[in-house]
Amino acid sequence: MNDTNQKINSLSLSSKKLLLIVILIFSGIHFSFAPQAPKRPNIILILTDDLGWTCFSTKMDDRIADSKSDYYETPNIDRLASQSLRFTQGYASDPICTPSRRSIQFGQTSIREGDEEFKAKYTPPSSTNLSIPQVLKTIDSKYKTAHFGKWDLRAKITPEQLGYDESDGDTGNKNGDISSDMEEKWTKHFITDNPKQMDSLTTRAIRFMQKQVKANNPFYLQVSHYATHVNFETKQQTYDKFNAKQKGKKHNNPAWAGMINDLDASIGELLKMVDQLGIADNTYIFLMADNGAVEFIPPVENRLDPPSTFAAQMTNYPLRGGKWTLYEGGIRVPFMVKGPGIKAGMQSDVPVVGWDLLPTFSELAGNTKPLADNIDGGSIVSVMKNAGKGKVKRQSEDFFFHRFNNGYPHSAIISGDYKLIKFWKTKKLELYDLRKDLGEINDISQQETAKTKELEEKLMKYMSRVNPALAKRY
């Protein structure tokens, strides 16, 4: 027995551990190594306001030199883009704030949701229309959710009523503005240390992340910036920087440039905190805009006219139009995502849209069950994790849009390379091949009458199915 003890004592520490395991196994002691469930990912959505496809200093399409700003500077967003999958055909759900934000929350088109009737249909509790937080919490009740910044559903519905644990309340444009004077907002700028409340939003967002990381809770965080919606607010140093910089052909307003640069710095602080908290390897970060930038400063009344009508380049050039219209400048926006399993610095030509976010977040959180039949979007996860290649499975491969406006109501369908716009009051139809004519200059509706008829029928069939009252309104 002494000889055995001497032999054991002479063994190395690692050998002793191995010997102990062998002894325990043969002593009849059994261990069960149950696999741990994977940790739910964190999801962050950064939603900017009225920010066009060409408003960053990084290109939204590597093949198009003009798909970036010739004046603005966005170094933090540029860095995010270099770490992300960037979608060249990322679409806002609508060319104005409110219906676009509603669409994101419920994964549905603004046609399905309606406008005046939205409040009655979506006021909680609703068993047929679940929001992003409600969907995530059905997957895992440990998810904590927060919405900071501009809410703007204009339906007397608070974020908490839709399942958010923390929020700034039922906010709108006025909550981010120093001044609400309609006459001066396009001609005057304001110098402030907290432009459009962007630094305050970021501070609250960071505190929320810190609290959830400490509590070991997975979280969904939506930071909905008031910027860059007018009025123009910026810091003095930033304004002075761009006021001294040579102006661009399409971008030349130093106050707007300053506001975008300040926004970029604020977003940079949020991204830095994700790294400092050590959660980057389990966090997906999405960035997009709620609609495109205004076409000119100040805006023009004849915004539906072709670009040749105007002496200067439109803000969203080479795209046509801007906020308020269904031309590409109004709905094609920056759209990128960073996270685990996503190859950095890639771009994808797969079309994606705001109503895809809810089903995407649902799959990322681990849901394997089918979503409700009234969800128009599809999960883009397979495209995200396949270097931007593949297809998104939706109820329809086509995108449907409607601009709720009594003066110039119009609808659109994007089907493959083709886009049809239907103007209800004038009965005019316009057809464009976006692959050949990104600027929507050449209306080919008279040359391709069969395609025009086909797309109009598709559009009307969808409208009649999901919102028959709208289809009969005009």
Q: Which domain-ending residue is among 335, 350, 384?
A: 384
Q: Tell me, yes or no, whether 97 and 149 share the same domain.
A: yes
Q: pLDDT value at position 26?
A: 40
What average pLDDT does range 250-270 have in this prediction?
98
| Residue 301 and residue 420 share a domain | no
Does 347 share its domain with 416? no
CA gap 193, 234 in Å, rounded: 8
**pLDDT beyond 70 at 16:** no
Mean pLDDT calculated for residue range 39-46: 97
Query: Shortest CA distance to 422 belongs to which of 459, 377, 374?
Result: 459
In a domain, 10, yes or no: no
pLDDT tens digits for 349-381? 999 999 999 999 999 999 999 999 999 999 999
* pLDDT value, residue 36: 53
Number of domains in the chain: 2
pLDDT score recorded for residue 37: 57
Query: Is residue 139 domain-resident?
Result: yes
Q: Is the pLDDT of residue 28 over 70?
A: no
- Residue 353 · residue 291 · CB < 8 Å: no
Task: Let me know if residue 1 belongs to a domain.
Answer: no
Is pLDDT at 99 greater than 50 in this prediction? yes
Residues 410 and 310 in one domain: no
Domain membership of residue 397 (yes or no) is: no
pLDDT of 3 higher than 80? no
Find out whether 259 and 195 touch, Cβ atoms under 8 Å. yes
* Confidence (pLDDT) at 302: 97
Provide Rg for the chain, Cα atoms.
Answer: 26
Q: Is the pLDDT of residue 7 over 60?
A: no
Within a domain: 396: no
Residue-wise pLDDT tens digits, 121-136: 999 988 899 999 999 9
Considering the domain architecture, whether residues 95 and 138 belong to the same structural domain is answered as yes
pTM of the entire structure? 0.92
In terms of domains, do 369 and 448 share one?
Answer: no
Does residue 291 sit in the same domain as residue 148?
yes
Q: Are residues 367 and 462 in the same domain?
A: no
Instruction: Indicate if 422 and 370 belong to the same structural domain.
Output: no
- At 318, list the tokens: 């080479």
Q: Is there a domain that residue 30 lies in?
A: no
Residues 355, 459, single domain; the answer is: no
Residue 27 has pLDDT above 60, yes or no: no
- The per-residue pLDDT for range 304-322, each reduced to its tens digit, is 999 999 999 999 999 999 9
pLDDT in tens, 160-196: 999 999 999 999 999 999 988 877 889 999 999 999 9
Residues 176/50, Cβ–Cβ less than 8 Å: no
- Closest of 130, 122, 149 to residue 204, by C-alpha: 149
174 and 229, same domain (yes or no): yes
- CATH number, residue 378: 3.40.720.10
Q: What is the CATH number of the domain that holds 434?
A: 3.30.1120.10
Whether residue 98 is found in the same domain as residue 67: yes
User: What residues make up the domain containing 318?
Assistant: 42-384
Position 447 in a domain:
yes
- Structural domain contains residue 193: yes
- Contact call for residues 356 and 377 (beta carbons, < 8 A): yes
